[in-house]
């Protein structure tokens, strides 16, 4: 009896379209949101290194000196942790799986020229700010030193100055 | 007069075994009189990694204990840590976790049906069942972004929300899967050729099942009604379901219990989607876990225990997992006693062996 049942299923399968995809002859289809591989937008990355710190398999290397961002795709477990933690939202997850390879390669990406300029400009501004801050501290110390003799017993103290 | 005894090695490489386990079958003519199992071929030392990965990263390792019940392993570990840190995930997180857990159970049981069909040599039935398993994997992929390792669970809730539209889309798909499994059920449970391979084969009595410490569908097929989901972890306390048992205790009963559990899981998933609360999916955590906890959850193959011991540092000191297959191996050797050599592959499959999680 049940063999007849299964014959029905088999006949149906014979005349319906295949349940599988002919990958790699045809393109593979992915769901929306499939965790395929990591892509970094080198126009937005600031090489802060958060992704490197957060990656559980240490697949990412950030080289601030050489201005490169590298990933070892065969160490990456597509967990999305780096994407969730990137402060500049420069990382994203593409749907397609990593291409097969014959060796465990590393992929290096250099910052785009524009981003290099942006970072250089930011660095310059930061340096200026640091310099200004240093000058301000220096001035404060000098002033404090000048104020000190005033605190000596006998001298006329200026109570307002200490607060400045 | 007793026949001449000989030893037939079964595994670690055998067509019916997806993973390596070795059993020495001591046979007399065509009958097995004793079975001596040995395991340890795929030990990976994952538990030791808790001392190398911080407690948040360890979730990814816990998920990788096994490729079939990966969600459950992640959940077991996270559940233990959440108890230590006294974190209460939001209702939505609990319901989504339950839904994903049941989807995993469905795909695991359907996988088992396929392996069973393969073990008794019904190739087209094997492919037919896996066709439906594929639909479940697609659902998991749509919900989490992964087909095998989901990376969606984290301590305190979930890392990603599953949109309501996506979950609503699961309902018609689930109907299709249930319908498909119903058509396969007729073959599994009433085909004379299949019945001759299952009925009365590998009988395990209720007393033996309890004495040997069996777990999961293997135990329930011997008429013992225990199911760790009844403890009400995740959102199981908010959904309706029964414990499915059978009194027959043979391979047929194990097949029956698993098929019924597929329907039951589908019903739990529907209830979860219906009752899905709206609020957030994550509660922030503070500090490091300090204390110890042991949790038991119901994996597709049975109860799995997770023990975590931590002393307030970033790195946990000890984690221990006891998986259901480990608990079922003693009973397997019992059911193998007295069976025909030709039935050994089927009996090994009936416990739904998952060796990589047994050895971790
Ligand atoms: S976290 Fe984002 S911005 Fe920072 S280095 Fe990584 S990719 Fe670049
Ligand atoms: S997806 Fe995960 S493993 Fe891959 S690079 Fe990002 S953090 Fe590392």
Whether the ω angle into residue A57 lies within 30 degrees of 0, i.e. cis, is: no
Q: Which atom of ligand 1 is nearest to the CA of A54?
A: 1
**Is the pLDDT assigned to residue A91 strictly greater than 50?**
yes
Atom 5 of ligand 1, residue of closest alpha carbon = A47
> What 8-state DSSP symbol labels residue B50?
G
> Token digits for A16?
């319906």
Q: What is the per-residue pLDDT for B328?
A: 87
Percent of chain A with pLDDT over 90: 2
Please state the rounded mean pLDDT for residues A144-150.
70
Express each pLDDT in B238-274 by its tens digit.
Answer: 888 888 888 888 888 888 999 999 999 999 998 988 8
In a domain, A86, yes or no: yes
The number of the ligand nearest the C-alpha atom of A111 reads: 1
B87 burial level (CB within 10 Å; 0-12, 13-18, 19+): middle
- Supply the residue whose CA is at minimum distance from atom 2 of ligand 2: A79
The pLDDT confidence band at residue B228, using thresholds 50, 70 and 90, is confident
Please check the confidence at residue B296 and state whether its pLDDT lies above 50: yes
Q: Is the Cβ atom of A91 under 6 angstroms away from ligand 2?
A: no
* Rg over CA atoms, chain A: 31
Q: What is chain A's mean pLDDT, rounded?
A: 80
Domain boundaries, chain B: 5-359
Closest C-alpha among B206, B284, B251, B242 to residue B350: B251
* Cα B66 from Cα B337, distance rounded (Å): 29
**What is the pLDDT averaged over residues B185-195?**
82
Measured in whole angstroms, the distance separating CA A76 from the mean position of its chain's CA atoms is 14
The pLDDT of residue A159: 44
Residue A84 included in any domain? yes
Mutation choice for A interface testing from B55, B145, B197, B281 by most A CBs within 10 A: B145
Sheet holding A107-110, edge to edge: A60-63, A68-71, A107-110
CA distance B154 to B143: 15
Q: Determine whether B268 is exposed, middle or buried from the number of CB atoms within 10 Å of its CB (0-12, 13-18, 19+).
A: buried
What number of C-beta contacts closer than 8 Å exist between A and B?
51
Whether residue A110 contacts residue A67, with contact meaning beta carbons closer than 8 Å, is answered with yes
Q: Using a 6 Å cutoff on CB, does residue A45 contact ligand 1?
A: yes
Q: Is B238 exposed, middle or buried (0-12, 13-18, 19+ CB in 10 A)?
A: middle
Is ipTM beyond 0.90? Answer: no
- Ligand 2 atom nearest to A81, measured from its CA: 7
pLDDT for the residue numbered B109: 92
Say yes or no for a CB contact (<8 Å) between A35 and B151: yes
Q: What is the pLDDT of residue B110?
A: 92
Tell which wins on pLDDT, B110 or A106.
B110
Average pLDDT over residues A103-118: 81
Q: Is the pLDDT of residue A164 over 50?
A: no
- Residue B149 Cα to ligand 2 middle (Å): 13
The percent of residues in chain B predicted with pLDDT above 70, rounded, is 99
pLDDT value at residue A154: 46
Residues A29, B212: Cα–Cα separation, whole Å? 47
Mean pLDDT score of chain B: 86
C-beta of A79 in contact with ligand 1 (< 6 A): no
Within chain A, strands assigned E span: 37-40, 60-63, 68-71, 91-94, 107-110
What is the pTM (predicted TM-score) of this model? 0.83
Contact call for residues B56 and B289 (beta carbons, < 8 A): no
Assign A102 to helix, strand or coil.
Answer: coil
Whether B183 sits inside 8 A of A84 (CB atoms) is: no
Residue A148 has pLDDT above 70, yes or no: no
Nearest to A84 among B159, B190, B192 (CB): B159
Using CB atoms within 10 A of its CB, is residue B30 exposed (0-12), middle (13-18) or buried (19+)? exposed
Polymer length in residues for chain B:
360
| Structural domain harbouring A93 | 2-111
Structural domain includes residue A124? no
Give the pLDDT mean for B192-205.
83
| pLDDT tens string A16-31 | 888 888 888 888 888 8
CATH number of the domain to which A10 belongs: 3.30.70.3270
**Residue where the block lists tokens 């007295």:** B338
- If we measure between CA atoms, which residue out of B11, B42, B15, B13 comes closest to residue B24? B11
Question: What is the nearest CA distance from A10 to chain B, expressed in angstroms?
Answer: 8
Residue nearest atom 7 of ligand 2, based on CA coordinates: A55
Q: Which residue shows structure tokens 């069973």?
A: B116
Our answer on whether the CB atom of A86 is closer than 6 Å to any ligand 2 atom is no
Q: Does A13 touch chain B (CB under 8 A)?
A: yes
A122 in any annotated domain: no
In a domain, A27, yes or no: yes
Pocket test for ligand 2, best of A61, A69, A76, A107 (most atoms within 8 A of CB): A76
> What are the residues whose beta carbons fall under 8 Å from the beta carbon of A162, sequence distance 6 or more?
A147
Specify the pLDDT at position A48: 86
User: Hey, what's the torsion of the CAs at B148, B153, B154, B156, to 10 degrees?
Assistant: -170
Cβ–ligand 1 distance for A38 under 6 Å, the answer no
Domain count, chain A: 1
- Give the model's pLDDT for residue B85: 87
Superfamily designation of domain B5-359:
Cytochrome-c3 Hydrogenase, chain B (1.10.645.10)
Is residue B53 pLDDT above 70, yes or no?
yes
- Token representation of residue B148: 């095998």
The DSSP call for residue B281 is: S
Instruction: Judge: A31–B191 Cβ closer than 8 Å, yes or no.
Output: no
């Amino acid at each position: 009896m049940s063999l007849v049942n299964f014959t029905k299923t088999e006949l149906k399968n014979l005349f319906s379209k295949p349940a599988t995809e002919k990958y790699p002859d045809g393109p593979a289809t992915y769901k929306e949101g499939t965790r395929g591989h990591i892509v970094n937008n080198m126009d937005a990355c600031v090489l802060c290194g958060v992704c490197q710190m957060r990656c559980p398999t240490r697949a990412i290397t950030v080289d601030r000196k050489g201005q490169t961002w590298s990933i070892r795709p065969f160490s990456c477990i597509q967990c999305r942790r780096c994407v969730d933690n990137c402060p500049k939202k420069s990382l994203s997850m593409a749907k397609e799986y990593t291409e097969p390879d014959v060796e465990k390669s590393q992929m290096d990406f250099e910052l785009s020229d524009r981003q290099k300029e942006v970072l250089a400009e930011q660095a310059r501004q930061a340096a200026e700010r640091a310099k200004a801050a240093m000058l301000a501290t220096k001035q404060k110390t000098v002033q404090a030193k000048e104020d000190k003799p005033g605190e000596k017993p006998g001298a006329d103290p200026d109570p307002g100055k200490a607060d400045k | 007069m007793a026949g001449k005894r000989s030893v037939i090695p079964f595994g670690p490489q055998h067509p019916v075994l997806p993973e390596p386990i070795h059993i020495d079958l001591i046979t007399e003519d065509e009958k097995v009189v004793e079975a001596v199992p040995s395991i340890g071929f795929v030990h990976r030392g994952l538990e030791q990694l808790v001392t190398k990965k911080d407690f948040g990263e360890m979730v990814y390792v816990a998920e990788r204990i096994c490729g079939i019940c990966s969600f459950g392993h992640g959940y077991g570990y996270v559940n233990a840590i959440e108890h230590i840190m006294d974190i209460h995930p939001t209702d939505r997180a609990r319901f989504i976790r339950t839904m994903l857990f049941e989807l995993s159970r469905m795909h695991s049981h359907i996988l088992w049906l396929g392996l069973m069909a393969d073990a008794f040599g019904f190739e087209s039935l094997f492919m037919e069942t896996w066709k439906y398993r594929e639909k479940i994997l697609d659902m998991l992929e749509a919900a989490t972004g992964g087909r095998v390792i989901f990376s969606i669970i984290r301590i305190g809730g979930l890392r990603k929300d599953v949109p309501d539209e996506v979950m609503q889309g699961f309902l018609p798909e689930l109907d299709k899967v249930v319908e498909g499994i119903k058509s396969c059920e007729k073959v599994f449970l009433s085909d004379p050729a299949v019945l001759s391979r299952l009925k009365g084969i590998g009988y395990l009595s209720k007393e033996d099942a309890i004495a040997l410490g069996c777990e999961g569908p293997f135990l329930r097929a011997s008429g013992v009604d225990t199911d760790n989901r009844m403890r009400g972890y995740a959102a199981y306390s908010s959904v309706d379901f029964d414990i499915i048992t059978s009194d027959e205790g043979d391979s047929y009963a194990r097949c029956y219990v698993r098929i019924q559990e597929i329907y039951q899981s589908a019903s739990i998933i529907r209830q979860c989607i219906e009752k899905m609360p709206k609020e957030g999916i994550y509660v922030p955590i503070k500090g490091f876990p300090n204390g110890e906890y042991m949790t038991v959850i119901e994996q597709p193959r049975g109860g799995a225990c997770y023990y975590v011991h931590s002393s307030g540092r970033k790195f946990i000191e000890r984690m221990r997992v006891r998986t259901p297959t480990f608990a079922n191996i003693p009973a397997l050797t019992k059911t193998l006693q007295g069976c025909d050599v030709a039935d050994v592959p089927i009996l090994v499959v009936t416990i739904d062996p998952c060796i990589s999680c047994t050895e971790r």
